[in-house]
């Protein structure tokens, strides 16, 4: 579970859903349309990240550390639509859960892959 809440002995967590994460890249990026990629291959790409301190950001940073690199954060956003718009503007790549609004962007400048 991704959460920013501190554990408490009287609170029990139950997962509501599992979200699959995707790499989102600009439509003309070299990885657009790929079905798989090693996370380490993104070590030279500029990242657009969710604001530091949020659970999703901590998880993505952790995945990158496990792959042997620290993401080069170029921009941060508070929400997925903002982050997707920054990717569409060719300002970097991101890893986020599936986002329905990407269907519109995918026809334009943002491509969800993997």
CA-nearest of 79, 74, 73 to 61 is 73
List all residues 6 or more positions away from 32 whose beta carbon is below 8 Å from its beta carbon: 25, 26, 111, 113
Please tell me the number of Cα atoms within 13 Å of 87 on its side-chain side: 34
Q: What is the pTM of this model?
A: 0.76
> Residue 104: its pLDDT value, please?
45
Assess if residue 11 is contained within a domain.
Answer: no
DSSP string, 49-111: EEPTTSHHHHHHHHHHHHTT---EEEEEESSHHHHHHHHHTTS-BEEEE--TTHHHHHHHTEE
- Residue 82: inside a domain, yes or no? yes
Give the CA angle between residues 21, 86, 105 to the nearest 5°. Answer: 70
Residue 9 resides in a domain? no
pLDDT in the model for residue 92 = 96
Here the CATH number for the domain that contains residue 26 is 3.40.190.10
Nearest to 105 by CA among 80, 90, 78, 85: 85
* Any domain includes 45: yes
Residues spanned by the domain of 104: 21-113
Judge whether 27 lies within some domain. yes
Question: Running along the chain, 114 residues long, what does each successive block of 10 average in pLDDT?
Answer: 66 78 90 90 95 88 96 93 90 85 52 54
Domain total of the chain: 1
Spell out a b/e string for 18-47, using b for 16 or more CB atoms within 10 Å of the CB, else e: eeeebbbbbbebebbeeeeeebeebeebeb
């Amino acid at each position: 579970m991704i959460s920013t809440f501190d554990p408490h002995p009287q609170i029990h967590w139950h997962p509501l859903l599992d979200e699959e994460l995707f790499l989102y890249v600009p439509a003309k990026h070299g990885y657009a349309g790929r079905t798989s990629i090693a996370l380490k291959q993104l070590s030279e790409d500029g990242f657009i990240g969710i604001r530091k301190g949020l659970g999703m950001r901590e998880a993505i940073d952790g995945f990158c550390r496990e792959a042997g690199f620290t993401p080069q954060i170029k921009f941060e956003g508070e929400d997925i639509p903002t982050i997707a718009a920054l990717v569409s503007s060719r300002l970097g790549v991101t890893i986020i859960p599936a986002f329905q609004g990407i269907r519109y962007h995918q026809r334009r400048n943002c491509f969800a892959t993997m």
